[in-house]
Chains A and B, each alone.
Chain A
Amino acid sequence: MLRVENLRMYYRTMSGLVRAVEDVNFRLREGETIALIGESGCGKTSLARAVIRFLPRNVAELSGSVVIDGIETIGMSDKDFDSKIRWRKITYVSQAAISSLNPVIRVVDHMIEPLVIHFKVPKTDAIERAKEIIKRVGIPEDFLWRYPFELSGGMRQRVVIAISLITNPKIVILDEPTSALDVMTQANILNMLKELRSKINLSYIFITHDIAVSSELADKVAVMYAGWIVELGPAEKVYVDPLHPYSKGLLGSVPRLRSDVPVTFIPGTPPSLINPPKGCRFRPRCRYAMPKCEEIPPVIKTGSEEYVRCWLYGEK
């Protein structure tokens, strides 16, 4: 469904080139969910935006390969991307989406906009479709005629997800969809996302900094650090027995409710992406750093779909 190979995206800034996403590889099957986890600034959102081509103007380089439903999109013109890929195949629910609903435009008008504008669907048909979708996200039909300011945070998040589904895409990118919500509302939204996935066979790219929440949806997990995917593997592996020293540190910093394992933290701070450390980007904070780590570590295959980028698992 989605294949990303050697994806690289750099930004140009006043102080230099920001290596936001570098040499990223992953695949996503139909109905599958990949979680991108990592600290803020690690490139999760940049990666998602590179995939859906939702780019700021200061992009200096975008290279590699992004194949969506069999179509190579890197190198495609913006116009083609808009008419063939965006909305049709893949949609994006941004972090700020919930606050970008115009309070004085009715829910229904928000929902039918992509259909009417991008697909030239007649308004009456679009409204029928909106009725069907809004029920799917667990909101009664008559809410279509309300205004966003009348809805609670949880309801608005549901509306935003409904908008992303209205064009029947195959992949939905969810960027921190529950981070601004309360515990109970978050659980409700996650339940809804699970039900949707099993009903209409959606694939999600789920971006979150909350590792515990990521496990609510992830079939596989990509751990990002300083623009790299440092570990990629099935949920059963990464949450239980992570390989990369960064993944270990990250999982160790999650306070557990159901066990009394003491929590720990990773000393130091993530590096600047303008001037990253030589070799492995995690080296300055790594407990296991060795002389070899001054060379860029290769991506090492450790299982059928498990990869780790660390010299500990490299040629001895």
Chain B
Amino acid sequence: MEKSENMSRGDILVIKDLRVWHPVRKLLSIVGYVRAVDGVTFNIPRGRIVAIVGESGCGKTTLARAIMGLIPATSGSIIFEGRDLTKLPRTIIRKWYTGQVGLVQQDPYAAMPPFMTVKGILEEPMKIHGIPKEERSKRVREMLTEVGLTPPEDFVFKYPHMLSGGQLQRVAIARALILRPKLVIADEPVSMLDASVRIEILTMFRELKEKYDLTVIYITHDFATAKHFSDEIMVMYAGQIVEIGDARDIIKKPKHPYTEALISVLPDPDPQNRFTIKKTLPGEPPSLINPPPGCRLWPRCPYVMDKCKREEPSLIEIQDGRKVKCWLYA
């Protein structure tokens, strides 16, 4: 029943009220939880690039790891292609799910074993999934060509330290795509690269997405690349999603006070910037061990009302495709 409902909407991934709490231990007892992801609900339509944008510590990487099945969900469900991961046995996740999703990590140097060649790195996932030898070499060549490392012969026997950051990130993308996944999670894939290389890699990524009919979750702190390289943006704050909307639209007309504040302080290259003092939000994001009651932004919010301190707003749709978690719109 659930399966057909999700498929008909064309969603590859549906997240319902997901919580990922990390226990805080003192000696042998658990004294509290870090609520890294706390009540997140969204769906990812097939074939789209969805950006999850937020500052460090907002829970975006924890969310990615939970979707990858790398850390268990505390509660809620992660439904991929109609099957709830939180209810699947580990063996199925390992055999089936790991071939369906690919991950590109932030730091390519840290993500690659330094003692393996590019060929070894790319073959590893295929070995685990039992792909025969000839097919493996063929795919390694194909994939290296796809990510622009040509001719592939020049790269297969290189070790990670022999490549530049941009080249290594291309290898990381090749590795994520080599099992022909349906969904790719890219966690800050270009934040360590230079401006021009960044755009080059993202442009390539978008072309690969079309060619291999992928769905992409692009996790970043950078609104500007999210605007240019994704269809939809979700803004995260303190473990929760506070706004969802069309990428360009959300940047042009942010509705949530947090999104509004972030976008207003982000510069474009403009000589006038040096004459203006930016209006920033006071304070810092709250502790996720003991978040404030009600809306999590209220201690910093310029529009705070009494209601915000008592009750948590829910994420509601205010216009076509735009959802906001704020009492101003409820």
* Residues of chain A at the chain B interface (Cβ within 8 Å): 33, 39-40, 152, 154, 182-188, 190-191, 194-195, 209-219, 234-236, 239-240, 249-251, 253-260, 262-267, 269
Q: Are B269 and A251 in contact (CB under 8 A)?
A: yes
Instruction: Report the Cα distance A214→B164, complex, angstroms.
Output: 25
Q: Which residues B235-268 have CB closer than 8 A to chain A?
A: 248, 251, 261-263, 265-268
Q: Are B248 and A215 in contact (CB under 8 A)?
A: no
B275: nearest residue on chain A (CB-CB)? A194
Top-10 shortest CB links A-B: A187-B265, A235-B271, A255-B224, A265-B199, A265-B200, A39-B194, A182-B55, A253-B196, A255-B228, A212-B267
Instruction: Report the Cα distance A185→B281, complex, angstroms.
Output: 9
User: Does B31 sit at the interface, judged by CB under 8 A?
Assistant: no
Instruction: Report the Cα distance A262→B262, complex, angstroms.
Output: 22
Instruction: Report the Cα distance A214→B263, complex, angstroms.
Output: 17
Q: Which residues in B have their C-beta under 8 angstroms from that of A33?
A: 274
User: Does B296 sit at the interface, judged by CB under 8 A?
Assistant: no
User: Does B135 sit at the interface, judged by CB under 8 A?
Assistant: no
A38: nearest residue on chain B (CB-CB)? B194
Given A255-B227, A257-B263, verify A263-B199 contact (CB < 8 Å): yes
* Contact with A152, one of B200, B225, B270, B284 (Cβ below 8 angstroms): B284
Given A187-B265, A194-B277, A263-B199, verify A182-B271 contact (CB < 8 Å): no
Q: Which residues in A have their C-beta under 8 angstroms from that of B274?
A: 33, 194, 215-219, 235
Instruction: Report the Cα distance A253→B117, complex, angstroms.
Output: 32
Q: Which residues B206-227 have CB closer than 8 A to chain A?
A: 221, 223-225, 227
Given A184-B262, A250-B195, A255-B225, verify A215-B267 contact (CB < 8 Å): yes
Given A184-B280, A194-B277, A255-B228, verify A212-B196 contact (CB < 8 Å): no
A234: nearest residue on chain B (CB-CB)? B271
Q: Are B265 and A249 in contact (CB under 8 A)?
A: no
Selected A-B contacts with CB under 8 Å, 18 pairs? A183-B266, A184-B281, A186-B265, A194-B274, A212-B266, A215-B267, A215-B268, A215-B271, A218-B271, A239-B269, A254-B224, A255-B227, A255-B228, A257-B224, A257-B251, A265-B198, A267-B200, A269-B197
| Nearest CB on B from A166, distance (A) | 24
* Contact with A236, one of B228, B251, B261, B271 (Cβ below 8 angstroms): B271
Q: Which residues in B have their C-beta under 8 angstroms from that of A188?
A: 280
Q: Are A239 and B196 in contact (CB under 8 A)?
A: no
Which range holds the interface residue count of chain B?
35 or more
* Contact with A263, one of B164, B221, B228 (Cβ below 8 angstroms): B228
| Nearest CB on B from A186, distance (A) | 8
Q: Are A255 and B221 in contact (CB under 8 A)?
A: no
Q: Which residues in A have their C-beta under 8 angstroms from that of B280?
A: 184, 187-188, 191
B270: nearest residue on chain A (CB-CB)? A215
| Nearest CB on B from A258, distance (A) | 5
* Contact with A266, one of B196, B266, B267, B278 (Cβ below 8 angstroms): B196
14 A-B pairs besides A216-B274, A255-B225 with CB distance below 8 A are: A183-B266, A187-B265, A194-B277, A195-B277, A215-B269, A234-B271, A240-B271, A249-B196, A253-B198, A253-B199, A254-B269, A262-B228, A265-B203, A266-B196
| Nearest CB on B from A292, distance (A) | 25
> How many pairs of residues, A versus B, come closer than 8 Å at their CB atoms?
113
Instruction: Report the Cα distance A251→B268, complex, angstroms.
Output: 10
Q: Which residues in A have their C-beta under 8 angstroms from that of B268?
A: 212, 215, 254, 256-259
Q: Are A211 and B263 in contact (CB under 8 A)?
A: no
User: Does B166 sit at the interface, judged by CB under 8 A?
Assistant: yes
User: Does B150 sit at the interface, judged by CB under 8 A?
Assistant: no
* Contact with A250, one of B196, B251, B277 (Cβ below 8 angstroms): B196
Q: Which residues in B have their C-beta under 8 angstroms from that of A267?
A: 200
Q: Which residues in B have their C-beta under 8 angstroms from that of A258?
A: 268
Q: Give 1 or 0 for each of B186-208: 1 = CB within 8 Å of chain A CB.
A: 00000000111111100100000
Q: Are A183 and B271 in contact (CB under 8 A)?
A: no
B263: nearest residue on chain A (CB-CB)? A257
Instruction: Report the Cα distance A194→B198, complex, angstroms.
Output: 29
Q: Which residues in B have their C-beta under 8 angstroms from that of A152?
A: 284
Q: Which residues in A have their C-beta under 8 angstroms from that of B228?
A: 255, 262-263
Q: Which residues in B have their C-beta under 8 angstroms from that of A235?
A: 271, 274
Q: Which residue, of A183, A194, A251, A267, has the highest number of chain B Cβ atoms within 10 A? A: A183
A259: nearest residue on chain B (CB-CB)? B268
Q: Are A260 and B248 in contact (CB under 8 A)?
A: yes
* Contact with B224, one of A212, A219, A251 (Cβ below 8 angstroms): A212
A237: nearest residue on chain B (CB-CB)? B271
Q: Which residues in A have their C-beta under 8 angstroms from that of B91?
A: none
Q: Which residues in A have their C-beta under 8 angstroms from that of B55?
A: 182-184
Given A183-B221, A187-B278, A255-B199, verify A239-B270 contact (CB < 8 Å): yes
Instruction: Report the Cα distance A188→B278, complex, angstroms.
Output: 8
| Nearest CB on A from B125, distance (A) | 28
Q: Which residue, of A154, A210, A215, has the highest number of chain B Cβ atoms within 10 A? A: A215
Instruction: Report the Cα distance A218→B265, complex, angstroms.
Output: 17
